[in-house]
Amino acid sequence: MTNLEQMGQNAQSAAFELGQLGTKKKNTALLNMANALVVNTEKIIEANKEDVENAKKNGIKKAMIDRLLLTPDRINDMSDGLRQVMDLEDPIGKIDRGWQTATGLDITQERVPLGVIGMIYEARPNVTVDAAGLCFKAGNAVILRGGKEAINSNIILSEVLRQALKDSDINPNAVQLIDDVSHETAQKMMELTDYIDVLIPRGSGKFIKMVVNKAKVPIIETGAGNCHIYVDKDADLEKALKIIINAKVQRPSVCNAAEKVILHKDIANEFLPDLYDALRANNVEVRGDVLSKAIVPDIIPATEEDWGTEYDDYIIAIKVVDSIDDAIKHINKYNTKHSESIITENYTASRKFMKQIDAAVVYTNASTRFTDGQQFGFGAEIGISTQKLHARGPMGANELTTTKYLVQGDGQIRH
């Protein structure tokens, strides 16, 4: 038996035990996990420093290093996320519906854990904690496989969480980390159909596509974010400027950052020069179509490839369109079904955009940066699902469950 298969068996055993735990026991363990992160802050930061230094030596871009970096504040945020997960309603055992059939059978549809969840992700150590906490709340064991860039951070985080589970008298194999970051081991994990019930990838669009193409385990596809903000002819331009700068600049490396701005032609001449100046003041490289370059000559010409690219960097592309219909058509052609926003004071335009845009989350007059489990009140998130089956949008504990039917009879037989 390989090490991975042993981990799979251990996870299945732990998942069975978790499925029997009551809410109080799970919440006590989550609180212990949250406290353990804070207590071990220095150890965690020490391990993270090694990852950050290695990333700098390997020439990883600044925005991606920001994803990797852990600080006392970020560790506190992860701890708070676990406390918020603890405070959530327990989804396990929740009744979705119930009825009695004509033959007198009482049927209820009840929420149950998925079982063993595999997480495969790139250089974001916070995913280790978010995934562990949410999977645990929903009664699932999790096998984690992070990227090599964050291996030292992930090892210490998983050790801290496992010890907290052990101290809570719970099987620590509820959380396991694969510390072999080779591509061969990742491929074997993606084929572990006998042990892993569902695989959730998190990372760049290229990374997620690779997992989708290679995995044999069923997948919930998450998070490539080619997100757009459309500024309508009836927009409050001061509001639009504030929202775009926030959506692009606050954390450009994350999947809910804005990558494209679409401008209605009626406001483009007035708004684009101010937008360009504000973006450049924040060190954002601005690319654009022919019409936008005609308004601001310093804009770099955009290529066809730009419209479908998730930059994860201080880069944005701008397009000027004739109508809201053209904006919707362009966005639906190039987006990744993640998050899209319209800035407008026109209710009819807002409703049209929200109805016709094909994405997991659609906003009016708000930054795309709010597409996040914590911001949605889920405590944390396992990922942003951009597919349409099982779950869509930010996935909290409830999305890590499935259902089964419980049928109570009294001697009925079928005729």
Closest-CA residue to 68 (of 39, 86, 45, 87)? 45
Q: pLDDT band at 393, cuts 50/70/90?
A: confident
Query: Residue 370 burial (CB < 10 Å; 0-12/13-18/19+)?
Result: middle
Spatial CB neighbours of 128, under 8 Å, sequence gap ≥ 6: 144, 146, 150, 153, 154, 157, 158, 161, 177
403 bridge partner residues:
111
Q: Is the pLDDT assigned to residue 380 strictly greater than 80?
A: no
Please, where in the chain does CATH 3.40.605.10 lie? 2-221+386-406
pLDDT at 367 (0 to 100): 97
- Give the whole-number percent of the chain exceeding pLDDT 90: 83
pLDDT at 96 (0 to 100): 95
- Domain 2-221+386-406 CATH assignment equals 3.40.605.10: yes
For the residues 97-111, what does the mean pLDDT come to? 97
Higher pLDDT, 254 or 241: 241
CATH T-level fold of 225-372? Aldehyde Dehydrogenase; Chain A, domain 2 (3.40.309)
Q: Report the SS3 class of residue 95.
A: strand
| 51-100 pLDDT, tens digit each | 999 999 988 887 778 889 999 999 999 999 999 999 999 999 999 999 99
How far apart (Å, rounded) are the C-alpha atoms in residues 351 and 331? 16
Q: Which two three-digit tokens encode residue 63?
A: 């925005």
pLDDT at 378 (0 to 100): 78
- Find tokens 């757009």 and name the residue: 228
Q: In the Cβ-directed half-sphere of 364, how many Cα atoms lie within 13 Å?
A: 14
pLDDT at 226 (0 to 100): 94
Q: pLDDT band at 302, cuts 50/70/90?
A: very high
Closest-CA residue to 92 (of 109, 113, 114)? 113
pLDDT at 396 (0 to 100): 86
Residue 364 phi/psi, 5° resolution?
-120, 125
How far apart (Å, rounded) are the C-alpha atoms in residues 174 and 116? 9
pLDDT at 355 (0 to 100): 97
Helix axes 347-356, 324-334, angle to 10 degrees: 20
Q: Is the pLDDT assigned to residue 197 strictly greater than 90?
A: yes
pLDDT at 209 (0 to 100): 86
- Give the whole-number percent of the chain exceeding pLDDT 70: 99
Q: Which of 23-32, 58-67, 122-131 has the lowest mean pLDDT?
A: 58-67
Q: What residue spans of 121-150 are helical by DSSP H?
A: 126-137
| 331-366 pLDDT, tens digit each | 999 999 999 999 999 999 999 999 999 999 999 999
For the residues 374-396, what does the mean pLDDT come to? 82
Q: Report the SS3 class of residue 222.
A: strand
How far apart (Å, rounded) are the C-alpha atoms in residues 302 and 39? 49
For the residues 43-56, what does the mean pLDDT come to? 95
Please, where in the chain does CATH 3.40.309.10 lie? 225-372
Cβ proximity of 148 and 181 under 8 Å: yes
pLDDT at 124 (0 to 100): 86
How far apart (Å, rounded) are the C-alpha atoms in residues 259 and 117? 31
For the residues 211-238, what does the mean pLDDT come to? 92
pLDDT at 222 (0 to 100): 80
